[in-house]
Homo-oligomer: A and B are copies of this chain.
Amino acid sequence: MSDSALPTLRIHQMGINTYQEPVAYLRSDCHVCRAQGFDSHSRVRISLDGHSVIATLNIVAPHLLEADHVGLSDAAWRVLGGRDDDRAQLSHPEPLESFSQVRGKVYGHSYSHSGLQSVIADITAGRYSDLEMAAFVTACAGDALSLDETIALTEAMIDAGQRLHWSAPLVVDKHCVGGLPGNRTTPIIVAIAAAAGMTIPKTSSRAITSPSGTADTMSMLAPVELDLPAMRRVVEREGGCVVWGGAMGLSPADDLLIRVERPLDFDSEGQLAASVISKKVAAGSSHLLIDMPIGPTAKVRSPRAAESLTRRLHAVGEALGLSVRVLRTDGSQPVGRGIGPALEAWDLLAVLQNQADAPADLRERSLLLAGQLLEIGGRAALGEGAALARELLSNGAAWRKFQAICQAQGGLREPPRATHHQDFLAGREGRVQSIDNRRLARIAKLAGAPASPAAGIALAVHCGDRVERGQRLYRLHAQTPGELSYAAAYACGHPETIVIEED
């Protein structure tokens, strides 16, 4: 069947959010279904004006769709970029040749460089179904990827996307492996490094399963959805930025793989290294500082795991021309007080403005990391970075630089405050024994974070603190009474979220 003979249907936005998987909807009595032998779970190529999307097919009842329409999920609609009632062509997608590379790996062979290039190119082009991506991710998990394969995967991921270049000879970046709740050091570090004259073009992500991502928190203080030219202008003027990376097209395969990596939650040293290094090389960085929190509930659980991952990150960075330094930090408890976009932003402001009650743990952690960056960048001698960072923070230089960056990104603004609150008090006196990070994150999400940006939790205690009976443990913030009561009901049902024991 030649292309011109391909059957056409009018496209229709169904209004169904299937997360990121493109899904197409057809009626079973649709002539194209019968003619092409399409059935539920078929993969279908839909083409329109030079764009095309490969989608998984769902068959729908007649009341949901007109007979000569093909319905598209939100993700498919975005990729195709047409208008309702445009005529699109439907066809069988070409066979996915690169999946034989994944089969080979599963059968015990190694990936070749060109094999991984073809897999990543197909994933980036949207040719892999979620099932096929799950198989790829599974076949990379654990220590399945050799160092050579990891380097090849990293190169393939860089090659599949945009790549930035900067005129500065030294471009730094920082990354945290597996975030802790409230660990929002990034905007503070960027402000300090840029205040010292360094170039630090920081791209961050939005929350996927947590109550806030760095980009969510930063968006409380300034616009973060900049395109590439706008981001470049900010960095050229101020030396640094904190923007959302999703629109930059840096290592786009990584963004696509996340949707299957998250639910499967495999540890994969090779894939983690490829993910981190590819984003940073694509962003044009020459030097990278990695914050690696170690703790029983952190991403990296033991010094031994940290050692192995560190070696891999160094080796992959070296192969790709990126100088990597890893700093191991305490990953045993949350950082700062706020959990949720606005509450975390208030913490940031308190540190940057040298407020007396600024959370000390967030400040000290930021200074430690910023100090390392200053040393990497040659702004401070070995061992003297932290002192310079402290000076740039306390003399107001970091705060001035942060304001300038926000201004350049579109204007500094004040984070919102929630209108509804409820305090949770200690039921007894004693010492705070443990804080359940996952439970706190869940409560903050029930209260509405991150979609309701002022919602979340303001922690009043940390592990080891002594508390009196009736003393506040945390305050719940919400934007509506309904959200407050849902979250509060859940919190009341789980008093073990913060455990207090007798001294």
| A residues whose Cβ falls under 8 Å from a Cβ of B | 1-2, 5, 14-19, 25, 28, 31, 34-37, 40-41, 58-61, 63-64, 73, 103, 106-108, 129-132, 134-135, 137-139, 141-144, 259-260, 263-267, 442, 445-446, 448, 482-483, 486, 489-490, 493
Contacts and interface: CB of A to CB of B under 8 A. Distances in A.
B41 A19 contact: yes
A135 B135 CA distance: 6
B18 A58 contact: yes
Contacts of A135: 134-135, 137-138, 264, 266
Contacts of A60: 14-17
A258 to B, nearest CB: 11
A220 to B, nearest CB: 20
A57 to B, nearest CB: 9
A40 to B, nearest CB: 4
Copies in the complex: 2
Q: Which of A34, A73, A142, A446 has the most CB of B within 10 A?
A: A34
Contact of A1 (B17, B58, B448, B493): B493
A268 to B, nearest CB: 9
A103 B266 CA distance: 7
Contacts of A448: 34
A129 B445 CA distance: 23
A445 B33 CA distance: 11
Contacts of A266: 103, 106, 135
A139 B140 CA distance: 11
B17 A40 contact: yes
A107 B34 contact: no
Q: Which of A15, A130, A482, A489 has the most CB of B within 10 A?
A: A15
A132 B264 CA distance: 7
Contacts of A25: 16
Given A14-B61, A103-B141, 20 more contacts: A15-B61, A15-B63, A15-B64, A16-B60, A16-B64, A17-B40, A17-B58, A17-B59, A34-B448, A35-B446, A37-B446, A41-B263, A64-B64, A103-B266, A106-B141, A106-B144, A131-B260, A131-B263, A135-B266, A138-B138
